[in-house]
């Protein structure tokens, strides 16, 4: 019942969020891309933030790191894969050359900071509070970049469609209700899924990388899928790119400040997959139709994710 109710809330919340955020963006003459990178990305990443804060307080590092790494992999390979199957996604030049490389940079920085004991010869492997502050500084720079985009009043893609224009009050209410539905829906889905997995005796690391990561990423899946159905590529892509940057720079930054995150050696494989997913997203922007994520590339993304999950299961 938790899973069924959760999925229903996610779908409804995603629809309200896309419509509300797009309407607010138009009211303030802000592009859908900016709305996707900020308002939508922040809202749909709240489940990850909540899970990580709780995990950090409880000193559960496997959940904290696995949730974020698993979510970022799921976001790119599954969510963009599924969204491109619904409607081929045309990606703006700024996203191709700036935002997507930023997701790659964030993943690379995570790998470097998580293994800095190889350079400074410390006894522990993981993210310290200093690393957390560095992540938050990077996030502040990202927000400043978004501010510059807003100042330029970058226009949305021609294919971006906002079906209706609502008043500011109604748009704000729709966005707020969408956030609430997404958060509640994700919590129900994760609670139900984790309970089932725990009864099967699966390791916490595997739970975090698969069920928890996929569960907390369901808001992004629902939001981007609905946006793709409405042919709003800016929201569909901006939501994922913004969420991935937000996940590493802000959520892991906050998590490391609450309590340093210990890293298991095998987690480097998952970080490497995150880097690979970000890299292949950039590469496919130049294969087939330029700056378009085609349906066949979506199939490729989904196939890669299935291979990754199979590897996790075999690895145990």
Which domains does the chain possess? 2-154+165-315 (1.20.1420.30)
According to the model, what pLDDT value does residue 156 have? 42
Instruction: Please check the confidence at residue 12 and state whether its pLDDT lies above 60.
Output: yes
pLDDT digits 0-9 by tens, 186-233: 778 777 777 777 787 777 678 888 888 888 888 888 888 988 998 888
pLDDT digits 0-9 by tens, 267-291: 899 999 999 999 999 999 998 788 8
| 140 vs 122: CA distance, rounded Å | 28
**Residue 161, helix vs strand vs coil:** coil
According to the model, what pLDDT value does residue 157 have? 42
How many Å is the Cα radius of gyration of the chain?
18
CA proximity to 221, closest of 229, 98, 193 = 229
Instruction: Please check the confidence at residue 310 and state whether its pLDDT lies above 70.
Output: yes
* CB distance 179 to 43 below 8 Å: yes
For residue 241, how many C-alpha atoms fall within 13 Å in the half-sphere facing its CB?
A: 29
- The Cβ of residue 54 has, within 10 Å, a number of other Cβ atoms equal to 14
Instruction: Please check the confidence at residue 21 and state whether its pLDDT lies above 50.
Output: yes
Residue 127 DSSP code: E
According to the model, what pLDDT value does residue 296 have? 94
pLDDT above 70: percentage of residues in the chain: 88
pLDDT above 90: percentage of residues in the chain: 37
Which helix (H) or strand (E) is 89 found in, with range?
strand 89-90
pLDDT digits 0-9 by tens, 81-96: 999 999 999 988 888 8
**Range with the lowest mean pLDDT among 97-111, 173-187, 194-208?**
194-208
According to the model, what pLDDT value does residue 155 have? 46
* CB distance 239 to 224 below 8 Å: yes
According to the model, what pLDDT value does residue 162 have? 44
Mean pLDDT, all residues of the chain: 84
Residue 126 bridge partners (DSSP): 262
| 186 vs 11: CA distance, rounded Å | 11
* CB distance 293 to 84 below 8 Å: yes
Describe the crossing of helices 168-199 and 213-229 by its angle, rounded to 10 degrees: 140
According to the model, what pLDDT value does residue 152 have? 63
Strands (E), 113-171: 126-127
Q: Please, which pLDDT band fits residue 33 given cuts at 50, 70 and 90?
A: low
Instruction: Please check the confidence at residue 54 and state whether its pLDDT lies above 70.
Output: yes
Instruction: Give the mean model confidence (pLDDT) for residues 35-61.
Output: 76
Instruction: Please check the confidence at residue 294 and state whether its pLDDT lies above 60.
Output: yes
**Range with the lowest mean pLDDT among 91-105, 202-216, 250-264?**
202-216
């Amino acid at each position: 019942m938790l899973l069924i109710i959760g999925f229903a809330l996610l779908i409804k919340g995603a629809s309200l969020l896309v419509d509300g955020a797009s309407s607010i963006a138009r009211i303030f003459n802000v592009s859908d891309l900016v709305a996707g990178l900020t308002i939508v990305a922040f809202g749909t990443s709240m489940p990850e933030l909540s899970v990580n804060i709780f995990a950090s307080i409880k000193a559960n590092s496997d959940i904290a790191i696995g949730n974020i790494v698993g979510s970022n992999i799921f976001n790119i390979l599954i969510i963009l894969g599924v969204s491109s199957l619904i409607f081929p996604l045309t990606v703006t030049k700024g996203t191709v050359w700036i935002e997507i490389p930023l997701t790659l940079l964030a993943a690379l920085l995570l790998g470097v900071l998580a293994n800095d004991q190889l350079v400074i010869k410390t006894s522990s492997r993981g993210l310290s509070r200093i690393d957390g502050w560095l992540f938050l500084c990077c996030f502040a720079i990202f927000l400043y970049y978004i501010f510059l985009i807003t100042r330029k009043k970058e226009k949305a893609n021609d294919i971006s469609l906002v079906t209706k224009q609502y008043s500011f009050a109604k748009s704000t209410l729709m966005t707020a209700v969408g956030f609430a539905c997404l958060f509640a829906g994700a919590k129900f889905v994760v609670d139900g899924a984790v309970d089932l997995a725990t009864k099967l005796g699966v390791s916490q690391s595997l739970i975090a990388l698969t069920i928890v990561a996929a569960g907390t990423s369901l808001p992004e899946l629902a939001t981007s899928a609905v946006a793709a159905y409405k042919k709003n590529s800016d929201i569909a892509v901006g939501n994922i790119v913004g969420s991935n940057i937000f996940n590493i720079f802000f959520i892991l930054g906050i998590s490391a400040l609450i309590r340093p995150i210990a890293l298991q050696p095998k987690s480097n494989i998952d970080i490497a997959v995150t880097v690979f997913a970000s890299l292949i997203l950039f590469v496919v922007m130049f294969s087939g139709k330029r700056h378009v994520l085609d349906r066949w590339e979506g199939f490729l993304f989904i196939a890669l994710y299935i291979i990754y999950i199979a590897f996790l299961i075999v690895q145990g």
